[in-house]
């Protein structure tokens, strides 16, 4: 197969890849991009039922999607994941790296910092490396990150450390891909109220995550999906090498 062809106008359909898309921000992003006309690849690691349910939902809406399991922290798995997409669909126009974790861990309570570094830092690097090789000219690469860098809480140390390096990736990759007219941007979000961000958090920690912010409300998955839609769409073609803060909790 050399790509999906729209029978009405004989134009190859655009393809968007969303990692960590089984629920939360990723699910909303995948749904929105499908509404925008993309064939969407829903990447997941553990929630096969949720991912396949999302694919079925998108198809019922009249869109096209497929679910593929992938561990973004595994170099060989990531490479195989992108090879499978390229072989099946023929092209990749947009990559949204949304797979991430948000551990709350003070410096004096080590234990899960490796998860943050493995998924948020190494995983992002591996996905961006494959995206850089495979996204078509004029394509878009988007990283859904967090606004944790704007917070001084000690519990955010592992996340802040990983996100600082993600921004370093942004500027370098945007520079390398400019000759191919590929934009690279980061969206800094607050905690996802429906996804992994609030897993394993106490009620007090969840309230703490959502109570700070200039807008006095917590952003919802549809809010972030709208920002991704803009960056991935025709109106976002001039935006590159930017960290867009889309968080009401970053104050």
Region for 181 from its dihedrals, namely left if φ exceeds 0, alpha if ψ lies in -120 to 50, beta otherwise: left
- 156 catalytic per annotation: yes
What's the CA angle centered on 139, arms 183 and 74, to 5 degrees?
Answer: 90
- List the beta strands (DSSP E) in 36-195: 39-44, 64-69, 92-97, 135-146, 183-189
Coil, strand, or helix at residue 70? coil
Residue 180 has φ and ψ, to the nearest 5°, of -100, 5
d(CA 200, CA 14): 37
Q: Which of 44, 156, 169, 171 is catalytic?
A: 156
What's the CA angle centered on 162, arms 124 and 179, to 5 degrees?
Answer: 45
139-175 core/surface letters (b: 16 or more CB in 10 A; e: else): bbbbbbbbbbbbbeeebbbbbbbbbeebeebbeebbe
Coil, strand, or helix at residue 192? coil
Strand partners of residue 186: 143, 243
Alpha helices, H only, 68-143? 75-89, 113-116, 123-134
Residues assigned a catalytic role: 156
């Amino acid at each position: 197969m050399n790509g999906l062809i729209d029978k009405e106008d004989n134009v190859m359909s655009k393809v968007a890849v969303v990692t960590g898309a089984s629920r939360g921000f990723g699910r909303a992003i995948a749904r929105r991009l499908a509404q925008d006309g993309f064939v969407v690849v829903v990447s997941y690691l553990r929630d096969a039922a949720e991912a396949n349910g999302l694919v079925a939902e998108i198809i019922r809406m009249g869109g096209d999607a497929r679910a593929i399991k992938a561990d973004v922290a595994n170099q060989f798995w990531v490479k195989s994941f992108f090879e499978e997409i390229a072989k099946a669909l023929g092209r990749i126009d947009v990559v949204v790296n949304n797979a991430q974790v948000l551990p709350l861990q003070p410096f004096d309570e080590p234990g899960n910092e490796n998860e943050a570094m493995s998924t948020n830092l190494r995983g992002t690097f591996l996905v961006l490396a494959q995206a850089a090789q495979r996204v078509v000219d004029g394509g878009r690469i988007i990283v859904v990150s967090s606004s944790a860098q704007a917070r001084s809480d000690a519990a955010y140390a592992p996340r802040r450390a990983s996100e600082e390096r993600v921004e370093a990736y942004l500027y370098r990759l945007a520079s390398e891909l400019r000759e191919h007219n590929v934009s690279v941007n980061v969206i800094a979000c607050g905690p996802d109220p429906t996804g992994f961000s609030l897993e394993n958090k106490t009620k007090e920690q969840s309230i703490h995550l959502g109570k700070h912010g200039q807008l006095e409300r917590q952003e919802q998955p549809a809010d972030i999906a709208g920002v991704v839609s803009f960056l991935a769409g025709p109106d976002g073609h001039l935006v590159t090498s930017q960290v867009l803060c889309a968080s009401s909790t970053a104050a």
